[in-house]
Amino acid sequence: MTNRTPERVAPEGRGDRRRAELLQAAMDCVAREGWPGLTHRKVAQHAGANAGLVHYYFGNLAGLRSAIARHASDHLILPVAEALCATTTVDQLIHTAVQITEASLDDPDGVRLLTQMITGAAHYPDVAAVVAADMTAAKARFAGHLVDLDSEWSMPGAITAAGLFIGALDGIVLHALTFGPDAAAPAAQLERLFRAVLTAPR
C-alpha cells in the first residue's frame, strides 16, 4: 500500500537541499538494488557527489538506512492511515481503500521502496525500529477509527481487522507489481474483499 504525499520542500539552506538530494539518491538505490546494494559510494555516484558527503550527513550505513526508513514511512505508510481514518462511513472507507490500491499500482517506484522497507525490517534493526513503530501506530489508529465508525466493534476485534485490512492492501499491490497490471483485481472485487474483512466476526 502506498499513498504517496508530495515531498516536503527542503529548507532554503544549501546543506539541507544537498542532504535531501542525497537522501533521494539513497532511496532510489534501495528501490532499484535493495538494501544489500546500498553503499555510500553508490549513493554519491547517483547524486553526483562524493562519498564523504554522504558520511557527513548520515554517518554510517545504519544511519543512512534509518534516514531512508523514516522518510519513506512518512511519505508511503503514514499517509495511508491518514486517508483511511479521514473517512466517515464504512462505504467511504472501502471506496478510499480501493482508490489507494489503484493509485499504488501507478506508483511502482513507491511500491518497490515499500517492499524493501518491509523486507529490510526482517534484516536490519534500524529499519525494523521505524517500520514496526509506524505500522503498529497506523494499525492502532485505524482500529480506533473502526470502533468510531461502528460501536459494535470491540478493540481487540478491530485491531485484528485492521491488520487484515492493511495486509490485504499490501498483498494486492505486491501481487500486481510482481505479475503485472493485468493481475490487478477489478474494483468491484476489491470492494467485496475489503467489505468481507469489515464484516468478519467482531
Q: Map out the domains of the chain as residue ranges.
A: 66-198
pLDDT range class, residue 6, cuts 50, 70, 90: very low
What is 66-198's CATH topology? Tetracycline Repressor; domain 2 (1.10.357)
- In tens, the pLDDT along 139-160 reads 999 999 999 999 899 999 999 9
- In tens, the pLDDT along 176-187 reads 777 776 666 788
Contacts 24+ apart (CB under 8 A), 79-88: 79/3, 79/4, 79/5, 80/1, 80/2, 80/3, 80/138, 80/166, 80/169, 81/137, 81/138, 81/141, 81/142, 82/3, 83/3, 84/142, 84/145, 85/141, 85/142, 85/145, 87/145, 87/149, 88/149
